[in-house]
Amino acid sequence: MEARYNLSHTLEIRDLLLADAVLTIAFTITLSGGIFGIAGGASKAVALMEELLPIAFIGVSLSFVLHEMMHKFVAQRFGAIAAFRTSPNGLAITLVTSLFGFLLGIPGATVIYTNSFTKRENGIVSLAGPLTNFAVFAVFAVALLVLNPPSQSYLGFALDFVMFISILLAFFNMLPIFPLDGSKVLAWNPKVYAAVMGTIFVLILLTRLIPVGDILFMVIIAAMLSLFYRRMF
């Protein structure tokens, strides 16, 4: 069956590394102001990207990669076959959008093959990713409180950035729009969905990491992606 679905570990590791690299570069370009920021001063932009790249790598590796791997491990726990796969179109969109100073990060997803999932199992598998983002957010929030670095320091920015990516991925994936995680969690248990989404909004309001305009933008983008999902992956 693994041959049929081409789920070799080597291929999965390659796809994970590729997605991690592309998303890291895309976040770095976006935070550098995109192509317009680079054009405004090449040397300054390069220096900024050198500072941002390590932070983006840590944030993406912990928030995105762990999110996808938790989907896989929980799905396998329920007897499914699962592996992460990149999307060529998604990789291209991720890079191209970053050049314009905003990011639509959709480099790939965990593909799950099963005919026996119940709504509960599907909901739990879907919830595993956002809950992983909560865990990453909590660890770095505690680090921020304990270390209490100056607000304008490199360390403070790094901790804030990892928290930002974590809560951003949790929010985007919990939108109740197919094929995002939120649509499956809501179909399984509306109370659990409300509790998780409510927690996300509380964290966003307390930390002010995501502007309201960005939230509305993500909702619109998610709705558009749901229409083209089968073409993307």
- pLDDT of 100 above 90: no
Does residue 155 or residue 45 have the better pLDDT?
155
Partner residues linked to 81 by β-bridges: 113
As a whole number of angstroms, the distance between CA 165 and CA 168 comes to 5
Q: Which residue has the tokens 């933008």?
A: 217
Domain that holds residue 162: 2-232
As a whole number of angstroms, the distance between CA 167 and CA 114 comes to 29
Q: What is the pLDDT of residues 66-89, one digit of tens each?
A: 999 999 999 999 999 999 999 998
Q: What is the pLDDT of residues 30-42, one digit of tens each?
A: 887 787 766 555 5
* Confidence band for 118, pLDDT divided at 50, 70 and 90: very high
Nearest to 120 by CA among 200, 191, 222, 173: 191
- pLDDT of 123 above 90: yes
51 is catalytic: no
| pLDDT for the residue numbered 233 | 42
| pLDDT for the residue numbered 2 | 43
In percent, how much of the chain has pLDDT > 70?
83
- pLDDT of 226 above 50: yes
- pLDDT of 227 above 70: no
Question: What is the mean pLDDT of the segment spanning 176-185?
Answer: 88
Contact 167, 137 (CB under 8 A): yes
CB atoms within 10 A of CB 87: 18
Termini Cα distance of the chain: 20
Number of compact structural domains in the chain: 1
Annotated catalytic residue within 2, 50, 68, 121: 68
Contact 57, 19 (CB under 8 A): no
Q: Which of 48-52, 67-71, 114-118, 153-157 has the highest mean pLDDT?
A: 67-71
| pLDDT for the residue numbered 145 | 92
Taking CA atoms, 82 is separated from 17, 68, 174, 206, in Å, by 17, 10, 20, 36
Q: Which of 25-34, 50-59, 181-190 has the highest mean pLDDT?
A: 181-190
Full DSSP string of 161-215? HHHHHHHHHHHHHTSSSTTSHHHHHHHH-HHHHHHHHHHHHHHHHHH--S-HHHH
